[in-house]
Homo-oligomer: A and B are copies of this chain.
Amino acid sequence: MAEKSEKPEKPEKKKDKPQTRAEREADRRRVILRAAVEVFSKKGYLGCRIQDVAKEAGVAYGLVYHYFKNKDELLESVFASGWQNFLGRVQSEIGRDQDLASRVRGVVHVAFEAYRRDPKGVKVLILEVGRSPAGGAVNRGSAFSAVIVAAAQMFAAAQQRNEIPSHLDPTLAATMLFGCIEMGLTSFVMGLLDKRDDQAIERARDQVAETFLNGITQARAGTGASIPNVRTIRSADTSAGGIETARQRPRPSN
């Protein structure tokens, strides 16, 4: 549907505007989408105004509404164009016909590469799409789960093949993998590591992949040697801890 009418009368005469109407339209759409990513990454979905997006895109306020029904659909589109893409890549890595290690490295690589190409986009995905309650209607979260689930299956299969110990929970393993990746990236976003240092990004990528692989591969397997003395100290405080904002009686008065 919506095939661009093959005009023989438009033989690319100028490189500036060789585009058919439909092309320019699509371009506009992309520009606005891109601007949205930019702005969302700065202020968050709820924190930003359509005016910001319009300004960033260099178009009039109203035009945003010409291309997108409303703010929510805009976010939805950012999501679709960005995350779907990312998700596809990750899943293709996961699905590769290779040993676990290679595939894990592949996943890590894809994530870091995406970050290198488009930090802002990744930031939005991580912050808004991945978890934020923003909007709320859509499937966001579920799509995020999708990657986890896919990775979990990969680990489960690896267990069948004895590539990793069977006592591990595949879902949790998947979770940890993406936790490492995500926080690794976040530490760049937040300036804990220098994002302009390509070397650093590569080193981070490799350390994440290798450390995680070590952890999971050589896990003190079913030998049972793992869970035993996990809690050595602790215990005394079990009563006190937590985030707990409201306590019943702050302290027993004394």
User: Once bound together, how far apart are the Cα atoms of A43 and B136, in whole Å?
Assistant: 8
Query: CB distance B114 to A192 under 8 Å?
Result: no
Q: Which residues of B contact A125 (CB under 8 A)?
A: 243
A146 CB to nearest chain B CB (Å): 11
A234 CB to nearest chain B CB (Å): 5
Query: CB distance A109 to B245 under 8 Å?
Result: no
Query: CB distance B145 to A192 under 8 Å?
Result: yes
Query: CB distance B26 to A234 under 8 Å?
Result: no
User: Once bound together, how far apart are the Cα atoms of A44 and B136, in whole Å?
Assistant: 10
A60 CB to nearest chain B CB (Å): 18
A68 CB to nearest chain B CB (Å): 13
Q: Which residues of B contact A106 (CB under 8 A)?
A: 233-234
Interface residue? A95 (CB, 8 A):
no
User: Once bound together, how far apart are the Cα atoms of A246 and B141, in whole Å?
Assistant: 24
Where chain A touches its partner, the secondary structure class is helix
Interface residue? A50 (CB, 8 A):
no
Q: Which residues of B contact A58 (CB under 8 A)?
A: none
Interface residue? A162 (CB, 8 A):
no
User: Once bound together, how far apart are the Cα atoms of A42 and B192, in whole Å?
Assistant: 29
Query: CB distance B132 to A241 under 8 Å?
Result: no
- 0/1 interface trace, chain A 143-155, chain B, CB 8 Å (1 if under): 0110011000000
Interface residue? A102 (CB, 8 A):
yes
Query: CB distance A109 to B244 under 8 Å?
Result: no
Query: CB distance A187 to B204 under 8 Å?
Result: no
Interface residues in chain A, defined as those with a beta carbon under 8 Å from any beta carbon in chain B: 26, 30-31, 33-34, 37, 42-44, 46-47, 78, 81-83, 85-86, 89, 96, 98, 102, 105-106, 109-110, 113-114, 117-118, 121-122, 125, 127, 131-134, 136, 141, 144-145, 148-149, 168-169, 171-173, 175-176, 178-184, 186-187, 189-190, 192-193, 203-216, 218-220, 226-227, 230-234, 237-238, 241-247, 250
19 A-B pairs in the complex with CB atoms less than 8 angstroms apart:
A78-B245, A85-B242, A85-B244, A96-B233, A105-B234, A106-B233, A109-B230, A110-B241, A117-B241, A148-B192, A171-B193, A172-B187, A173-B207, A176-B180, A176-B183, A209-B230, A210-B226, A212-B215, A215-B216
